[in-house]
Amino acid sequence: MARPIYGNGFFHVAPGAIFYTIVFDYFDEGEYWELLRAGEEGEEEERLREEMQRLTDQERTLVNGREVRVRVLRAFVETRGVKNRSSAVFLLEIPYEPRPGINEYENYYEAGVAEYSYTVRWLTWCGRIASVISPGTVRIEGRLADIRVKRGTYVNGYEKVSFYLPEDCLTGILRHQRS
């Protein structure tokens, strides 16, 4: 049975979509190692994708005040070079309409205590991260935000990331979308 040991989340803010990659690292008794060795990971990857979609459908995600459906594009199983260390990787897409000025991402989910430590990073293609409301420690440096949550931290079920997009970033993109 696989046991989660660490999580990473990477949000990449792009024009029209926020791309979100999640990586869960596990201590594993070799289950994924054997699946990959046998070339039989496809069914497990689809099962994981469906399960992650079910979980994200239970959450409420808003961008700029509009509810959006997070779409799980793909899941992968991997090993980290040794039999007992595996990962599940998820690629997600969050559609939104960018606007000049402050844009806001909000996520509501079930509260609880973090079972393992995790790190979340945000990167905008232009502009800057304006503010972050999240459990854990937050560090903002221009276009980047770094959020670190330790195992045992109470997670209250709400996150908000505000990012500023200057009009000149969007001018060419909005012009292209209209044509």
Q: What is the mean pLDDT of residues 109-116?
A: 96
In 3D, which of 179, 152, 133, 171 has the Cα closest to residue 15? 171
Give residue 29's pLDDT.
76
One-letter amino acid of 137: T
Global pTM reads 0.90
User: What is the pLDDT confidence band of residue 158, given thresholds at 50, 70 and 90?
Assistant: very high
Q: Say whether pLDDT at 63 is over 70.
A: yes
What lies within 8 Å, CB to CB, of 157 at 6+ separation is 108, 109, 110, 111, 112
Q: Which of 18-22, 28-32, 124-128 has the lowest mean pLDDT?
A: 28-32
Q: What is the mean pLDDT of residues 100-116?
A: 97
User: What is the pLDDT confidence band of residue 22, given thresholds at 50, 70 and 90?
Assistant: very high
The overall average pLDDT reported for the chain is 91
Contact in structure between 5 and 26 (CB atoms under 8 Å): yes
Q: Say whether pLDDT at 73 is over 70.
A: yes
Give residue 172's pLDDT.
60
Burial class (CB in 10 A: 0-12, 13-18, 19+), 81: exposed
Per domain, the residue ranges of the chain are 3-178
Which residue did the predictor score with more confidence, 58 or 47? Answer: 58
